[in-house]
Structure 1
Amino acid sequence: MDDRRPVATHLVHQNGRILAVGDAEDCPQDAVIDRRFENSVLIPGFVEGHCHFMEGRAWSYIYLGFFDRQGPDGRIHPGLKTKVAVLNALRQGAAETRGDVIGAWGFDPIYLPDSRLTRVDLDHVSDTRPIIVTHASGHIITVNSVVLSRIGITDTSDVDGVFRQSDGSATGELTGPELINRAQRVVGESAFSQALGLSDIQAFSRIARRAGVTTAADLFSDMSDATVAAYRAAAQDRTIPLRMVPALGALLYPGDKALERLNEVKSFSDEKLYFGAVKLILDGSIQGFTARLRWPGYYNGAPNGLWYVAPAQLEEIVERLHGAGVQLHIHTNGDEATELAVTILGRVLSRLPRPDHRHTLQHCQLPDTALFRRIAALGLCCNLFSNHIFYWGDQHVEKTLGLPRAKRMNAARTALDHGIALALHSDAPVTPLAPLFTAWCAVERLTAGGRVLGVEEAIGVHDALRAVTLGAAYTLHLDHLVGSLEIGKFADMAVLDADPFEEPAVDLRTIAVRGTLFSGQYFPADAA
């Protein structure tokens, strides 16, 4: 990813940093030659600019996803294609679950027509133990009657975010951060709980190593004392080859508390741990029908989604954080949410200009060309969710957006044409952590059903790989340390068994990752 020298045959590292890179003649004469990788291809360690370390925690709960998925231990968990299969897996998992709470994750009813889970379904699994099933997006949960009772929701409760049957009774589906967080607090845990322990980060790091990821952003951290202690312990753990970039979840820290907490933890930053960013979430998910869309709205006529931050309050929040020098990562799935973010940022930046702010629109899935022009004019970065094209592209055509808008989802070509700093991400555990797959999605734009969706927005292999290395590093203010193999940067690399620039683009996702080099130390992908 060094444009001036894109290919090298030798790299020298010393004290964890790159000392020389180039040909044999560029190496110091006293360098010790290591030939373990002479039949491999070394590229910069992948930088995952938007994921969640809670994936390490999620695998201790029941997986109910539609697609096959690999856990931290390497075991493949089969996808569940029917509601019957989902309920059977839930019953089996409940029988094997120790403790009071039954937690599950990965369920997505958009794949199973007319097969939504209800509290009645979950009550048949257990009507005495609390059950929380977190949907794949993380923006909806389904709970049983035990949980509804504990959080005080009845069939007559007048509460936003409670899904209801035609007779007004609560289905058990809850959406929006307030209700989801309330359920998790009352029950005490769920598969997507924000609190982390060291073992959760260790499990996540095993997934990252297998994917070739050496730097990752935990892009919504509760920043609790326990979670910060886990980050610090992981930073000191030599068996965890991962640079960590937690972003404080602003929803959890109203008013001045966000800045106060950031100031408390900044001093803990080191070469493996970087505090200082904040995550704002404006809307929900498109496939969950909770994202905010501009006209003409949802293709199937569903009502518009939710505001997670009241638009009237957003400007004050952005101005306070921006004015304090904080970098903002702003979740905007729908184009109405993106437009609001751009409008607010434009007003704040006009009053408080700040060079090199690198505020980043996360997901940012539906801007049209005019909105991309505004994004570029403000110097904003975009981290696009290209995996959506594969995992939900067919559903976006048929249910959420219709074909014309679905074709321009995650418009990486338009973003690059406007000179916007671009990253691509997985949002793991929403989709698997696999940067080669994420890059492939942006190159091929192929849906799970085999449709090429919006070929005019496809980008080349080089641009896609840049977006999951140096591009992502730029959005994290770490491009001076990681993302390319240049003198002075960390000796972090992914070890591949084939050259992604030589293989056919369609095979990009199938290239095997043999492991990672982290500060020059090798960590095989298949190590325990």
Structure 2
Amino acid sequence: MSANLILKAASIITMDPARPRAEAVALDTTTGTIAAVGSLAEVQAATPGAPVEDLGRAVLMPGFIDPHSHPLNGGMVTQAPAYWIAPYHDAPKYATFAAVQAFWKQLDASLPADQPVVCNGLDRLLQGAPELDNTDLDAFFPTRLAVVLDNSGHEAYFNSAVIRANWPDGKPPADPTGARYGRNQDGTSNGRAYETAAIFAAVGKVLTQAIPNPLRSGALWYKLMAENGITMTTEHTYQTDLLKGYIALSAVPDSPLRLAMYHMSIEADCGDPVDTAPAPKDRLWKQGIKLWADGSPWVGTIASSFPYLDNETIRNAKIPIGPGGESMLNYSRAELDQILDQFTPLGWQFAFHCNGDVGLDVVLDAYARALANHGLLGIDHRWRVEHCGGCRGDQFVRAAALGVTISLPPFQFIYWGDLLDGTMFPSNIGSQWVRAGDAVKSGTPVTFHNDGCVSPPVPLLNIQAMVTRRTPSGAVHGPEQAVSLHDALKAHTVHAAWQLRREHDLGSIAVGKLADFVELSADPYTADIEKLTDQVQVRGTWSGGKKVDLRAFILQIEALEASEHQHLVLRAVHKRCC
């Protein structure tokens, strides 16, 4: 094969079992593909005349893949001019509710009087925050429009200025289907909205005023992912009105990410194909259909067979003790069967949000029926289940037998692990949260994700946590659920590429594949796994044989007409997965 560039590194971790290690890789930067892999002498012999770029002490790997994310929505509610106040972001600045309150006071004093405020990530469990109302927020933002989005994505809080802007008499309209407004006894708003439709109606005007260039906000999330070594990801709540934005992000010359779209099943056109031109087809494509089985463990809406512990932390967060069981399901079995029967013949990959064990039993039952009825048992369908934080090991064995692949959320363990084990749930449940060990043993290809913007997109931290089972506090929970470093790396490379049906051209460094790499400061295999994120840093990424220039990318997005993408802001509070 032809090549016009050879990269030499301290080591190249190929993730290709046929040749796990190499010294050099030759690239055809015109096609963006790999022409040769091996020792420097072997690669030079295979591609004579190609110049050599020596990366020094850097270690190359296949680019990390986050197979479950929400980049546009994540960027709009976390990147400036919005404020990301989640407790694990910019710690310890937002570690406690007292710290958040101090930030709000400073913020109101520093901004122009007419500038709206949007804060995302308030966490009642981790920060000890109450369920806010308009009078609470009025104390910090007495006159300006102010909105605070709960970290779960299921609730929003807003001040009296927002109430007046929305409803002159202070009274919200009738509750939308599947959502509701918080109300005082006289019917006026109390500054709360629950679930997507009500949140849209309550805070949409504020978002439109506060976020003048939502495409740039999405680009900043792309940049954050790339800075952490990610070269491919997904949009797991794709809607048709997001298409123009994703095409813009994918079509500029220095776009750092490839992106697969999972269309929400509640959209009327979710079964239709999507034309992503002029974005390259290998950079933006529709992958499948997304469904939700249950809700979030952080607000008590998971379909589980086990209750929460009854204590002050749980009561203050207003989480029902439960167990919620099937009452927390978003679909009846009949509805699930109808959806699967309707869209299975179209060939799309399904991806099912599920956190609780009862929910996963129902999903696997529905999957088993649909696979059998449509002649897909034993076929390489790669239907997915997302999260599975509170699910059982035997369920992963059943998933593997059905050909179902699992994407796990290490962030749930990392940021909530200390609470999960002994505060939210008894230790036999909480210590086992995110059963990576059981999932890997089941034989199903396991991947890891960050569900951005629910958590910062940091694959190296996911890998460290799933190998050590240690949270940032230093505590170890469920060491029997630990996985090997190699299995953890596969979860963010070869397995993730396979899960997205891109194993033929991505996920490992091999001849003929696309040249998507992450450049690391040191070798993960020789680092102290307990200090992986300290000893190994991301130096940059390569996409299609080209070193990613993130500054150029942001400038290219800023040069586009912002007004053409203003509609995106109304999707910024859409249901996240968590």
In the superposition, the TM-score normalised over structure 2's length comes to 0.81
* Unaligned residue ranges in structure 2 (runs of 5+): 1-14, 311-319, 555-578
Matching of residue 374 in structure 1 with residue 389 in structure 2:
no
Question: Which among 76, 81, 84 is matched to residue 63 of structure 1?
Answer: 84
- Give the Å deviation of 1:378: 1.1
- Rate the CA distance shift 1:331–1:353 in 2: closer, same or farther, 3 A: same
Residue 348 of structure 1 corresponds to 370
Q: C-alpha distance in 2, partners of 1:185/1:309?
A: 27
Cα drift, residue 417 of structure 1: 1.0
* Aligned: 1:17 with 2:33: yes
> Does the Cα contact within 8 Å between 1:213 and 1:242 map onto a contact in 2?
yes
1:72 counterpart residue number: none
1:293 equivalent among 300, 304, 318 = 304
Q: How far apart, CA to CA, are the structure 2 residues paired with 1:105 and 1:342?
A: 34
Shift of 1:249: 2.3
**Does residue 235 in structure 1 map to residue 260 in structure 2?**
no
Tell me if 1:314 matches 2:336.
Answer: yes
C-alpha displacement of 1:173: 4.1
Moved more, 383-392 or 229-238: 229-238
Larger radius of gyration: 2
The one-letter code sitting in structure 2 at the alignment partner of 1:223 is T
Distance in 2 separating the partners of 1:299 and 1:418: 30
Q: Does 1:87 align with 2:98?
A: no
5+ residue gaps in structure 1?
Answer: 70-76
Q: CA deviation at 1:196?
A: 8.9
Q: Does 1:109 align with 2:156?
A: no
Q: How does 1:72-221 map to 2 (within 5 A)?
A: 79-94=93-108, 96=111, 101-113=116-128, 115-126=130-141, 129-145=144-160, 147=162, 150=166, 172-185=191-204, 189=208, 197-221=214-238
- Counterpart of 2:291 (choices 271, 280, 300) is 280
When residues 42 and 377 of structure 1 are mapped into structure 2, their CA distance, relative to the original with a 3 A threshold, is same
Match of 1:406 in 2: 430
Instruction: Tell whether 2:540 aligns with 1:521.
Output: no
The aligned counterpart of 2:64 is 46
Q: 1:163 to 1:509 in 2, by over 3 A?
A: farther
SS of the counterpart of 1:125? Answer: coil
Q: Deviations over 1:326-360 (max 9, x none)?
A: 11111112222222211111111110133221111
Pair 1:156–1:205, CA change in 2 (3 A): closer
For the structure 1 residues 275 and 393, does the alpha-carbon distance in structure 2 shift closer, same or farther, using more than 3 Å as the test? Answer: same
Alignment of 1:462-501 (within 5 A): 462-501=486-525
What number of residue pairs does the alignment pair up? Answer: 512
Q: CA deviation at 1:484?
A: 0.6
Post-superposition offset of 1:385: 0.3
Q: CA deviation at 1:147?
A: 4.8
Q: CA deviation at 1:181?
A: 3.7
Which segment drifts farther, 16-25 or 418-427?
A: 16-25
Q: Take 2:428 and 2:189, find their aligned partners in 1: how far apart are those partners?
A: 35
Q: Distance in 1 between matches of 2:213 and 2:435?
A: 34
Amino acid at match of 2:303: R
1:51 offset after TM fit, Å?
Answer: 1.4
Give aligned-pair identity as a percent.
26
Check if 1:456 corresponds to 2:480.
yes
- CA-to-aligned-CA distance 1:267-321 (integer Å, 9 cap, x gap): 9661211223222122221122222222x22223524384344554222112222
**Contact 1:269-1:275 at 8 Å conserved across structures:** no
Separation in structure 2 between the aligned mates of residue 154 and residue 310 of structure 1, nearest angstrom: 33
Q: CA deviation at 1:398?
A: 3.6
Code of the aligned partner of 2:290: K
Please report how far the alpha carbon of residue 108 of structure 1 lies from its aligned counterpart in structure 2 after TM superposition. 0.4
Q: Is the 8 A contact 2:274 2:286 kept in 1?
A: no
Q: 1:146–1:329: structure 2 CA closer, same or farther, 3 Å change rule?
A: farther
Q: Which residue of 2 aligns with 1:332?
A: 354
CA change 1:249–1:84 in 2 (3 A) is same
Q: Do the aligned partners of residues 163 and 204 (structure 1) sit closer, same or farther apart at CA in structure 2, a change above 3 Å counting?
A: same
Residue type of the alignment partner of 2:527: E
Question: Judging changes above 3 Å, is the alpha-carbon distance between structure 1 residues 317 and 440 closer, same or farther for their aligned structure 2 residues?
Answer: same
Letter of the aligned partner of 1:258 in structure 2?
C
Aligned position for 1:245? 260
Matches of 1:163 and 1:472, distance apart in 2: 41
Q: Compared with structure 1, are the counterparts of its residues 265 and 347 closer, same or farther at alpha carbon in structure 2 (3 Å cutoff)?
A: farther
Match of 2:408 among 384, 389, 396: 384
Structure 1 502/98 Cα, relative in aligned 2: closer, same or farther at 3 Å?
A: farther
Whether the aligned pair in 1 keeps the contact of 2:355 and 2:387 (CA below 8 Å) is yes
Instruction: Kindly indicate whether the alpha-carbon contact (under 8 Å) linking 2:114 and 2:144 is maintained by their aligned counterparts in 1.
Output: no
Q: In the alignment, is the contact (CA less than 8 A) between 2:172 and 2:181 conserved in 1?
A: no
User: Is the contact between residue 212 and residue 494 of structure 1 (CA under 8 Å) also seen in structure 2?
Assistant: yes
2:251/2:280 contact within 8 Å kept: no
The AA in structure 2 aligned to 1:176 is E
C-alpha contact 2:386 2:408 (8 A) present in aligned 1: yes
Instruction: Assess if the C-alpha contact under 8 Å between 1:47 and 1:469 holds in 2.
Output: yes
Query: Which residue type is aligned with residue 437 of structure 1?
Result: L
How far did 1:490 drift?
A: 0.7
Whether contact under 8 Å (1:365, 1:384) holds in the other structure is yes
Q: Distance in 2 between matches of 1:482 and 1:126?
A: 49
Question: What amino acid does structure 2 have at the position aligned with 1:230?
Answer: G
RMSD, aligned CA: 3.1
Cα deviations across residues 144-177 of structure 1 (Å, max 9, x unaligned)? 3455673799699788655689999976443333
User: What letter is aligned with 1:364?
Assistant: C
Hey, what's the Cα distance between the residues in 2 that align with 1:414 and 1:500? 23
Deviation at 1:23? Answer: 1.6
Q: What amino acid is the match of 1:213?
A: I
Residue type of the partner of 1:219?
H
From 394, 398, 417, the equivalent of 2:418 is 394
In structure 1, distance between residues paired with 2:57 and 2:292: 44
Distance in 2, matches of 1:446 and 1:393, equals 9
Deviates more, 1:12-21 or 1:117-126: 117-126
Taking the aligned partners of 1:105 and 1:372, their CA distance within structure 2 comes to 33
Counterpart-to-counterpart distance in 1, 2:265 and 2:203 = 18
Kept after mapping to 2: 8 A contact 1:19/1:488: yes
Q: TM-score, normalised on structure 1?
A: 0.88
- Secondary structure at the counterpart of residue 220 of structure 1: strand
Query: Paired residue for 1:37?
Result: 55
Amino acid at match of 1:321: F
